[in-house]
Every structure is written in structure tokens, then in C-alpha cells.
Structure 1
Amino acid sequence: MRPRKLRTKFLLTLALMVSATTLFAQATFRYKADLQKVDTAGFFRIDLPPAVLAKSQGNLADIRLYDKSGKIVPYIFGDRLPQLSDVIDMALPVVKLSARSDTNTTFIAENKDRLTLSQLTLGMRNIDVERRGGLSGSDDLQNWYAIKEDIILSRNSSSGEKNRWAGNFAQQINFPASNYRYFRVQVYNGRRDGIAILAAFISVKQSIAPQYRQLPQTRISQKDTLQHSVVFIRLGDTYLVNKLHLDIAGAKYYKRNVSVYDIGSRPRSLLVDTVISSAAPADIYFSVKAKFIGFEIANEDNPPLEVKSITAYQLGQSLIAYLDKGNSYNLLVGDSVATFPNYDLQFFTDSVKRQLPAATLGAVTANPDFKGKEPKPAAKGFPAWALWAIIVAVLTALGAMTFKMTREVGKRG
């Protein structure tokens, strides 16, 4: 046999082995959802709707992404990206001072919330001079205590930000952590003109609020007894539930203990003990993958509360993956024994932008390659274990054939 023919058979056999292995890997997932094609290559955020998570494991370990050739596509969950809180500059209120006869520049800012501060940013009119000053603190505007001395205020200071505002610049002052009600900056001008301090800012981190998605088809029923109200919730599918919002009527002022249960499990399992009150929104937080949820409200000697409606929510979940332009992808879920994949991408989260374009998943459908479905009538009675044995035998035979051809190609080459 000529080497060219041997190579052709070798490549064909190898392609068959890869194809069989790919089908074998995808055959354990019950459901799939197609992903829309993207116009440019890059990282995309793929939101996971409730319908997808309802078909997956509770810990989401069985989610896989494949391209049209059956190649696995690595991903990370969106919440695994480093969460960078937004930082804003908040101006402290300025305390107005009466006219002074000395030549010092005095600026006082009020720390109304008594925050513990270790940094102030002074906003000043542009200067090309150098002045020395000091920072002190007080709780009553009468008794002042030194915090830091010999502060150099200069446009050339390493802590200056010259282009912060048009016509103005900012300089940062660092000092030991203090929580005085008032902070005073005194600039010693000597016999020279003063400088104009406009504002004092502190940097405040704004935490990123979690995003929730409303779950569809929530039905409720309520049964009141002497000292308890029992509420049953039925969802449209076995959804991942992270929050319930209760619309309460029946009392203007109330504060009741509530116990929430997963009543679809046997025996029922307690999810959370909490309190609902008229002083705050009636929101209950927990995490469970369930279709039936119940909770008991302890009314004690009070009239029962009426739960008019309940809205169930799921924490927003997403995948981050690199997608190629024009390629087709599908997402597979529904393997009860799958474990979390281990992708290298998890070590490169700092290379992924926080603001990413979105790629949309289509409807969830049955995976036609799933091998755990009921056999066709023609194969009725054929045991599933025998089918898997045949698949393993075929792969073994193909491997042996490939090995033999490789040896022959080596000898003739």
C-alpha cells in the first residue's frame, strides 16, 4: 500500500475517532440551546436565563459550551471577574468663616457622618507657588487638635492632579485615620497673598448591587390557623430561587417571624428563618433549586397577614467566553453527574474587560445526541449498557487500527 493511501486512511480514521469522541462527550447532556452568531471575534457575556438554569444542576457544574465542530469552548462565570467598585468623589460641606485679620488661608470642611478618613483631596484654583500648611481636627469648632504638619501645597507636588478641572487642580493629602466632625486646613502665607481652596473631597466606593431576574409563573395559596399562616408557592419549573418579595396586606404595622422550607424535598428542608416587618420591604433571601416552596408566618396573637402576591427572583448568572466571528455555538446542560470543568481562562480574568458585548442564547430544547433517552421501537429491549459497550469497543478498534497504520507509514516513510 502506498504511503499516500496510508496517510489518507490514517487521517480518515483519526477524524472518525475525534467525531466519535465528541459525540460521546455531548451524549450525556439532556438539553441544548443555540447561541447567536457574533459579528466580531472577542470576549462576550452570555446571560443564562432561568429556563437554562432550571435544566442544570443546582451548582451549575454541568454547563458546557461547544462550537460547530464539537470543540469545547472554555468559559468563566461572570461573577468570577474581579468586582471593581465604582469610586466617586464626594465633596464635604464647607463651614463658612467670618472675616479674619491674619494672612493665613483657613478652610474648614464638615464630616457630618463622622466617617473615619485618612485622605482628603483639596480642590484649588491653579497656582504656581508653594505654600506650607497644616491639618487639624475638632468636634466643636472650638478645640482643635493637630493631625499633620508641614504639608506642602504646590502645583508641582507629586500628589497634585493638574488636569482635574479646567482652571483648577487638586492635591491629595494623606494623614493618620481620624473621625473628627470638622477638618481644618491652614495655609501659612506669611506676608504673601493667600491661595484659593474651593472644596475638600473624599473618595467613596459604591458597591455594585446584585442583579436579579424575575421568575415566571408563580402561583400561591394561603391557609390560616390560630397562630400561624402557611403559604404555598408553586413555580413553573424547578428554578434556582434566590429571593422572594412578598406583597403584604392586613396590617399597617407588623413584625413577624417567618420560616421558609423546600417542600419538594422529602422530608421538607428548612431554608431560612427570618423576620418580615412593615418598616422594610418584605424581601426574603436564600438559595435553593426548587419547584415547591412553603413558609410559615408566626402571627402569635395578631390577626393573620394576607399575602396578596409573591414575586420570585433569581440572581443574574452569565458566562464569559471568547467567540469567533461567524462561528456557531451551542450550550449543553442537564448532566446530573458532571463536575466543574477546569479551564486555564480562570487565571486570566484580569485580561477580560468589565463591559462586554452580549451574545444571546436561544430557546432550550432537547439534545438530539442525548443517549439516555428511551430507545426507538426497533431497538426495544436492547439494554443501554450493551450500547455503551459497543461504543467503547468501536473506539478501541479504531485506536488499534490507527496505531497499526502509524507503524506502517513509519516503515514505508
Structure 2
Amino acid sequence: MSFAILIIALLCLFLTNRKFGTFSFPFAGACSFLIYSVPAILGLSAEFYYSGQTKYFVSAQAGATGIVLLAWCGFALVVIAYKQLAYRQCEPLLSNNNYSDQMKIATVLSFLGLGYLIVTGGLFFFTNARDEQLNDFATLLWRWFVLIGFAAAIVENNRRYQVAMLFLIAIIFLRGDRTIPAIAGALYVVLYFRFFGEAGGFFKKISRPKFIISVILLSTTIFIGKPIYLSVKEGDISILRYALADDPLSNIVMAAEPFGTFNHISSVMNLNIDINFFDFISSILANLTIVPSFFGLNTNLYNETITSAIPYSLSYGIAGNYWAHAWAVGGYLGVILFSLIYPISLIFCDRYLVDKNGRVRLSLAVIGALTAIYVHRNGLDNFLSFVRQICVAAFIVYVIHIISRARNSNYGYLRL
């Protein structure tokens, strides 16, 4: 099965590159899916462990590998069925300063958010432990204001605003959040090269210095980002040295997230975790509310279910797994359904980016990057909570834009 996964994955990489382009969300999604499929291909899994216990690899269960294979089959089915497309670049709509306004508004909101965190947590709030930091709804929205501003700055090709947003992304990273920098890296690769990159073959595209630097920074964030920000928080460079000491490749591989998230599939199967369908629907629909917790609704049902089912106490987060959630909800049928939803979402975001010119274009680009990079380490319910936060942040930017336009002109109809 491992060889079959590799063959289908390479086929999907070829087809997504051919149909949508190298710098597209479907291709980025196929690349990240392949990275998170490495444990299944190698036949290795990293089991959940007690605090202080040495982390080790075990042989992957055939059932877990089979689920990944089924997921790739669903992904391939959608990509093969989709019509052939000719690669073309995006052309930003600049006539009404749409992206310039979004960029400025999101930047102001981002720095207001930074001020809020400094006031509530001190000037060096980002050096506090993650469980000691403020994580209210305003702080959650702050992260997405930063990414929306960054996306607008890329499309506007405004270097000053890009640097300002990168400064805030660096602070978010030092707080202990590797997700936002990873999404920012994917955003930059897709948006910059989609709007301003030159045409050419695959190898010509990936040999560009900006692309290589982006990939190196993105890989560094994913694989050794944690020891980097922990070294900064503790003021102790030995944490990073330890991660790279002796056998750095072995240490990095052992700590790599895909091996831990892959273990979710085996755990769900071994623990016979079965999420009631109506509870699942409730956790999904709860994301239609702005603040689900205010109404007593749960959008993290999968993670809470598997954490409570593990027969020993854990002192660390275990993230999630999109395919394990699918299995817990609907078995093989659930995996098939989730495997169709994933590429269709990527294609929708990519097509909107290329074919449309409205203001939701950038927020959908952020959602596309989020889907490509982040969905594999989450249950669908928790993943949609991030989509909800992006939508709320984008709506706030949009409303402020309407108000500012109304105060300065008779600008009425706003094209979506």
C-alpha cells in the first residue's frame, strides 16, 4: 500500500501542477498532503507518549495506511475529473484601490492588536509561556488581520507593508504559533508568483531565488520552529543546540509533526472512537455563530473526544488529524467524503483567486493557504473554527472600508 500511496501522490502532484500551475492552492495542498503522508509511505508512526518518556517509532498499522491510500484516491478522483486548465497569471483589480484600502485597514487593526497585547501582557508578552498568554477572541482575530494585510501587501507589491506584516508574523511565531508563519509562507509563494511571476517550465519556476528562500524559511518554521521560539522564550540557545546536536536529522525526523498526527488514525481505530453523526453536525454548524462558546457550543469535538479516550494523562497537545476525524464520524464512507471536500475546497479558492476581482478574493486566498497547509493536523470542526475567524476578520475590514468610503464619497455599490 505504501508504494501505491507514493505513485498516486506523484500523479496528483503532476496533475495539479499541469492543470492549476506550480503556484496554486491545489498543488500546494498536494505537496502538504504528501508531507503528511510520509509516515504511511515509510510505514512508521510515533505513538503518544507519557511526559518524560522517550519518543520512539512503531510500525504503522495496515488499517491506518489503508485510510491514507483511500484519501489519496478521493483526492486523485477530483483532480482527474476536473477539466484541463491553461495556466494563467492573476491580474489584481487596482482601479478602485480595493487592495490598497484592505491593506491599510488590516495593517491599522493589526498594530492596534499588537498594542492591546502589549497593554495586557507587557512589552515582551511574546516571551511568556503559551498557557500564560492571552488568547481571547480579539487576539485570535488579530492573527488573521495580519495575514489579510500581508496578502493585500503582496498583491499591491508594497514592500514597506510587507515588512511591517512580517514583523508582526515574527512576533506571532515567537508567541509559539508556527501555523501563521507557515500559512504566510504559502500565501507569499502562491500570491507573489501568481500575480508577478513569469511563465516558464516547472523547474524554471522552482529554481527562482525568491521561491527557494521561501521554501527554506517555510521548512525551517515547520521542522525546527519549536526549538527556535523556545530558545527565544527561555533565553537559552542550548534548547536549539540540543535539537540539532548529535544526530540532528534523527532529532528533526523524530520531532516532525506528521508522524505524531498520523498516529491519530491508529488511535481512533484501536480505541474504537465513534463520533455520533448529529454531534458531528452540531460541532460543524456551531461555526456559523460568531462565538460558539457563548452559546455553549463545541467546535473542537474531535480533539476533546480522542484526548479523553487516551488511557493516560498527557501534558502536551496532540493536534488532530483530518482523516482520523473522518473515520471516527463515518468510517470508510467518511474518509471518502472528506477526501472529496479537501481538493474541491482548494480548487474553489484557487479558481476564485484567478477568475474573480472582488474584495473577498484575498480572504479566500488566506482560506486557501490555510486549507493547503493546516487541514491535515486538525479535525474538520476545529479547522472550520479558523475559517470562521478569517471570515469575521475579513467582514470587519470590509465594514470599516464601507464606512470610510461613505464618509469620503458617494461610493455605493461594492462588488463582491
Larger radius of gyration: 1
| TM-score normalised by the chain length of structure 2 | 0.21
Flag the structure with higher strand content.
1
Relative contact order, higher structure (CA 8 A, sep 6+): 1
Flag the structure with higher helix content.
2
